[in-house]
């Protein structure tokens, strides 16, 4: 625990043999589960949603123990689990609708949506319950079975998720959980990916690990869905409601110690309102509850090193500092003058920090926003819907929020990963479609 610096509990790392048996179990169950009627899958998903709703306190406390997140984040993500389950249950029929295509040769040309088969899900620790629940629900709705590779930073939380799906009535072998410590993770993961019965991978995590997973997937010719990190920008135009923009950007930057894959890390402000916005942003951060803690001390130390590197290269604090408060809590900060070659500018900080860039024109704002590798979420603040929509169409991101936080996402989707933030869409029917393929049948 980052909060107490004490061992919470111990987990058993999987061996190659255990990993193989997990895929074997998923494959055996898939042979019968894929024929489960859609209305029965929906019934079990809705039952799972009810159970997750009943377990909000338990899930929240488990996340707090394992990942040292604060109660607000733990409760928010725990409450979202039932929302996502119900959304998936409501979308499953639409996702599975097939088609009848015209035939050049006079046949009846049918198109079926079929489950891809056993899948590997690798959810992260930072939103442990909601992202694992979303992935498992999508796969089960499609008719797939799951090998869930639990994070070594929250194995009990991910075990609780799998257990709840089985309590909802999904058959033994529908969700199989393995966990690997760091020294064994690469071997265990490749064992699962290389298994002939494994059909697809969903990975949510850092770009560095995503590249390694993508390399393994390519080696074994397995398709992969990825949701990676971002340096999500918020653009503040000169006609924006500056107080509301400051409130939402402060929250988007600092919530959960900045450990959200689409936290606001870049703030692009038109120069005419820069000074007033900075004043309001500082006041908004002051009103926030403390940013709590990083998941481990080493995560906090890496975040501090990122901020210190920016300062050493000439950046200045508009707000805060790089002080470590306690074993794993970094002070919140906003910087200006961040060098383009600094760690903060080149990659995701994953910390309660952001940097500000002043621009004169809309075109400069869009170019600055699009200048990084990521493309997950962006925000535009303006009183003009026409202006906001015009910029949204130019921004190279899977999601664009107009007058909302970069960390906002609709459960009905699509939450689309673009550029260096991965590929594929999630939420609602779009998440279910990740685990389906189109089969053409001519009669």
Q: In what order do the strands lie in the sheet with 436-442?
A: 99-101, 109-115, 436-442
pLDDT in tens, 58-107: 999 999 999 999 999 999 999 999 999 999 999 999 999 999 999 999 99
Catalytic residue of the set 69, 144, 154, 261: 261
pLDDT tens for 157-210 read: 999 999 999 999 999 999 999 999 999 999 999 999 999 999 999 999 999 999
pLDDT band at 10 (very low <50, low <70, confident <90, very high): confident
Domains of the chain: 16-228+421-442 (3.40.605.10), 232-410 (3.40.309.10)
Q: Is 53 a catalytic residue?
A: no
Cα separations in angstroms, 223 against 28, 193, 230: 21, 10, 22
Q: In what order do the strands lie in the sheet with 224-227?
A: 175-179, 146-150, 119-122, 200-204, 224-227, 422-426, 415-417
Q: What is the average per-residue pLDDT within 224-231?
A: 95
As a whole number of angstroms, the distance between CA 141 and CA 34 comes to 10
pLDDT at 4: 78
Over residues 399-443, the pLDDT tens digits come to 999 999 999 999 998 999 999 999 999 999 999 999 999 999 999
**pLDDT for position 413:** 87
99: helix, strand or coil: strand
Which run of H or E residues covers position 152? Answer: none
pLDDT at 160: 98
In this predicted structure, what is the pLDDT of residue 354? 98
Q: Mind listing the pLDDT tens digit for each residue in 299-350?
A: 999 999 999 999 999 999 999 999 998 889 999 999 999 999 999 999 999 9
Q: Which residues pair with 121 in a beta bridge?
A: 148, 202
Which residue of the set 227, 265, 348, 433 is catalytic? 227
Predicted confidence band of residue 15 (pLDDT cuts 50, 70, 90) = very high
Token reading at 49? 């949603």
Residue 20 phi/psi, 5-degree rounding, is -65, -45
Q: What is the pLDDT of residues 261-275, one digit of tens each?
A: 999 999 999 999 999
85 is catalytic: no
Residue 227 banded pLDDT, cuts 50, 70, 90: very high
> Residues 128-155: what's their mean pLDDT?
98
Give yes or no for residue 1 having a pLDDT over 90: no
Backbone phi, psi, residue 240, to 5°: -75, 155
The label of the residue with tokens 């926030």 reads: 288
CA dihedral 220, 224, 229, 232 (to 10 degrees): 140
Averaged pLDDT score across all residues of the chain? 96
Q: What pairs with residue 273 in β-bridges?
A: none
pLDDT at 87: 98
> With contact defined as beta carbons under 8 Å apart, do 335 and 353 qualify?
yes
Give DSSP secondary structure letters for 288-342: SPP----SSHHHHHHHHHHHHHHHHTT-EEEEE---B-SSS-BPPEEEES--TTS
Token reading at 276: 């007033």
**pLDDT the model gives residue 326:** 82
């Amino acid at each position: 625990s980052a909060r107490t610096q004490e061992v919470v509990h111990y987990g058993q790392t999987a061996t190659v043999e255990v990993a193989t048996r997990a895929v074997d179990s998923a494959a055996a169950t898939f042979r019968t589960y894929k024929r489960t009627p859609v209305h029965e899958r929906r019934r079990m998903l809705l039952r799972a949603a009810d159970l997750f709703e009943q377990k909000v306190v338990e899930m929240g406390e488990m996340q707090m123990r394992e990942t040292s997140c604060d109660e607000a984040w733990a409760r928010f993500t725990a409450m979202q689990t039932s929302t996502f389950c119900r959304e998936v249950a409501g979308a499953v029929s639409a996702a599975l609708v097939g088609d009848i295509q015209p035939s050049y040769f006079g046949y009846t040309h049918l198109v079926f949506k079929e489950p891809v088969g056993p899948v590997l899900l690798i959810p992260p620790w930072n939103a442990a319950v909601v992202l694992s629940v979303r992935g498992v629900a999508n796969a089960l709705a499609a008719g797939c079975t799951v090998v869930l590779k639990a994070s070594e930073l929250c194995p009990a939380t991910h075990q609780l998720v799998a257990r709840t799906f089985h309590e909802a009535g999904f058959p033994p072998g529908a969700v199989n959980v393995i966990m690997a410590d760091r020294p064994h993770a690469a071997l265990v993961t490749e064992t699962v990916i290389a298994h002939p019965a494994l059909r697809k991978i969903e990975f949510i995590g850092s770009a560095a690990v995503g590249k390694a997973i993508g390399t393994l997937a390519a080696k074994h010719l397995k398709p992969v869905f990825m949701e990676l990190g971002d340096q999500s920008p918020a653009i503040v135009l000169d006609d924006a409601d500056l107080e509301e923009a400051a409130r939402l950007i402060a929250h988007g930057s600092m919530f959960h110690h900045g450990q959200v894959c689409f936290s606001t890390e870049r703030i692009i402000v038109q120069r005419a309102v820069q000074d007033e916005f900075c004043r309001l942003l500082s006041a908004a951060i002051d009103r926030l509850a403390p940013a709590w803690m990083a998941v481990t001390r080493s995560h906090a130390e890496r975040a501090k090193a990122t901020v210190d590197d920016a300062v050493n290269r000439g950046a200045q604090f508009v707000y805060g500092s790089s002080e470590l408060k306690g074993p794993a809590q970094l002070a919140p900060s906003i910087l200006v003058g961040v060098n383009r070659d600094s760690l903060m500018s080149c990659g995701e900080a994953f910390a309660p920090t952001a940097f500000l860039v002043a621009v004169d024109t809309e075109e400069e704002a869009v170019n600055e926003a699009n200048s990084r590798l990521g493309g997950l979420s962006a925000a535009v603040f303006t009183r003009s819907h026409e202006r906001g929509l015009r910029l949204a169409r130019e921004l190279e991101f899977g999601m664009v929020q107009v007058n909302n936080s970069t960390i906002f996402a609709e459960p009905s989707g699509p939450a689309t990963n673009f550029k260096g933030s991965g590929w594929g869409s999630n939420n609602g029917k779009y998440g279910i479609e990740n685990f389906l393929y189109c089969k053409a049948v001519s009669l």
